[in-house]
A and B are shown apart, each in its own frame.
Chain A
Amino acid sequence: GAGVSQTPSNKVTEKGKYVELRCDPISGHTALYWYRQSLGQGPEFLIYFQGTGAADDSGLPNDRFFAVRPEGSVSTLKIQRTERGDSAVYLCASSSLAGGAYEQFFGPGTRLTVL
């Protein structure tokens, strides 16, 4: 079956611009996570959705970052007034809590470059 997909795979933007990053989770997965991976670092948690609602947004660095998941499937991470420090690979993961198995399945990521 299809895994987690993310679009675009690469995004280059200028400082101050607005960007949207999209995540399509595995069909039927109720939980969706966003992480950010800077060069040479491990992924850092941003936000977690259970269904349509954000269950934990404690990792969002500031109010320029926002994410939605209006129908409980696709999610969009939105970054306003981008800064050079926002350059990173943005990873999306999804998981199913059914059956006792626990694993987050990761997408390939969107590489964001802010010039």
Chain B
Amino acid sequence: AQSVTQLGSHVSVSEGALVLLRCNYSSSVPPYLFWYVQYPNQGLQLLLKYTSAATLVKGINGFEAEFKKSETSFHLTKPSAHMSDAAEYFCAVSDDRDDKIIFGKGTRLHILP
């Protein structure tokens, strides 16, 4: 069965510092992988997705993630954090392009001034 594990329910970084949000997945088939962001009182927005093309995926707002099959990981990074990045981030996996998405429990990112 598919599953997603996000390490750290809360992560705090200083403004301008590197953002690293960790995600490990399990899937019996080559997966589709996603990162979604949820700002307070707003809906889910897709940051980026991996669909078996390039292993380094660039998304919106300067975020990127690298698919590492050997580590079953899909960690999200951003070189320099902005205050506006404060939000809840969800890693997610799907077995197929028209299949349900399985979400992790989320990581709340706090940006310290």
Contact = CB atoms under 8 A, between A and B. Distances in A.
Interface string B40-78: 001111100101000000000000000000000000000
A56 interface: yes
Interface stretch (A12-20, A36-44, A63-71, A75-83): A36-44
A107 B38 CA distance: 12
Contacts of B46: 103-105
Contacts of B101: 33, 35, 43, 45, 104
B98 A95 contact: yes
A41 B100 contact: no
A42 to B, nearest CB: 3
B97 A97 contact: yes
A31 interface: yes
Contacts of A25: none
Contacts, number: 56
A1 B105 CA distance: 31
A25 B12 CA distance: 36
A42 B90 contact: yes
B51 A48 contact: no
Among A35, A106, A109, the one with the most B-chain Cβ atoms within 10 Å of its Cβ is A106
Contacts of A8: none
Interface in A74-115: 91, 93, 95, 97, 102-109
Contacts of A41: 105-106
Nearest to A48: B100
A45 B92 CA distance: 12
16 contacts: A35-B101, A40-B106, A41-B106, A42-B90, A42-B104, A43-B90, A43-B101, A43-B103, A45-B102, A50-B98, A55-B98, A102-B49, A103-B46, A104-B101, A106-B36, A108-B43
